Amino acid sequence: MVYLQRHLRLTNLSYIQKSNFAVWAKIHAFCLLLVVMAGCIGSTTTTVQLSPASRAELDAILNTLQARYDLTGSLKITRMMVTIEEAERSEELRELLWYKKSENGGELLHIQALGGMNEPRGIAIANQDKNQFLLRLVNEQKAYLGPLSDGVLREIFGVNLRVSDVLSAIFANPFLDGRTADFISVESSGAKSIIKRPGVQTGYVETITLFIREDEPRVTEWQIHDENGTLQQHATFADYREVSGILRPHKVEIERPLEQTRVAVKIAKVELNVEMSDSKFDPEPFLGEDVEIIPLSELRE
């Protein structure tokens, strides 16, 4: 998260304006991109061959998690509080979120950060169909616009980022990127299962904890350690409830100890599979004549 403060500060703003923008940028980086460390797969960690019984048990869990994603065509969150803690500072924001699988099969995401009177203060749109990423600062009459590519995002935010990491955060499913073949270990004790697999960065290890209740798996923890065993990121998912027959967490926390940063999300109202037009995710309405459009690449400067 500290990368965002370094990359996104605007030189002509007051301290308060800098603070608000930094906070807004941080939370949208989390919601849109999830700062899971990602990159080229090349792990040298030793994996094991699961027994047929263990593989079948694991596949049943993975299939259930995948089904929750497959059955969610759209998602709308109209009451969400996000708390950001960094070192000794703490900020709280209200957010709105819309997600949809487009008619063309792309992933669409629209997030708004609200001000004290519930007015939009910041808007972020990720449109896979149009290969566009918009970062709109309402008060500043500025919009950052550029291609939605892993390369550009990596340069801007200082960490490797993938679209699959976004989906993993929204659906509390670390397996949406398709890495379901190689595992370091799979241990089960009663309702609890602990799965370890190679990370996407060489030498990294991911530990995923699940609980099975009423035949429904719940991902509760997702830890990422580097090649030295240092905890890089710890995500927790809690307060699972059924929404339109699909089990979802209503509390998500992500902590990055080395950066002394913690992001906590509490969802009060979420709707699934509601009608929404693809136009909801079109950046054009937010690019009026009075808006200064700045190439997304300039956020690197």
- pLDDT tens per residue, range 115-163: 778 888 888 898 988 988 888 888 888 888 888 765 555 555 554 445 5
Give the pLDDT score at 284: 92
Which sequence spans correspond to the domains of the chain? 2-293
Mean pLDDT of the chain: 80
Give the pLDDT score at 41: 42
Give the pLDDT score at 15: 32
Give all strands (DSSP E) within the chain, no chain letters. Answer: 74-86, 89-101, 107-114, 120-127, 132-137, 142-147, 185-189, 192-198, 205-213, 216-225, 231-243, 246-256, 261-272, 292-295
Query: Letter for the amino acid at 108?
Result: L
Model confidence band, residue 301 (pLDDT cutoffs 50, 70, 90): low
pLDDT of 207 above 90: yes
Q: What are the φ/ψ torsions at residue 73 (nearest 5 degrees)?
A: -85, -25
Vertex 202: Cα angle to 265 and 255 (nearest 5): 20
Among 13-22, 72-81, 130-139, whose mean pLDDT is lowest?
13-22
> Does 70 or 41 have the greater pLDDT score?
70
**Coarse DSSP helix, strand, coil percentages of the chain, rounded to the nearest 5 percent:** 25, 40, 30
CATH second-level architecture of 2-293? Answer: Clam (2.50)
From the list 207, 252, 268, the residue with the least C-alpha distance to 232 is 207
What integer is the mean pLDDT of 277-282?
Answer: 92
pLDDT of 191 above 60: yes
Share of the chain above pLDDT 90, in %: 41
Asked if 275 and 282 touch (Cβ cutoff 8 Å), the reply is: no
> Does 180 or 40 have the greater pLDDT score?
180
Model confidence band, residue 47 (pLDDT cutoffs 50, 70, 90): confident
Model confidence band, residue 208 (pLDDT cutoffs 50, 70, 90): very high
Give SS3 for 183: strand
From the list 195, 149, 140, the residue with the least C-alpha distance to 33 is 149
What integer is the mean pLDDT of 168-194?
Answer: 91
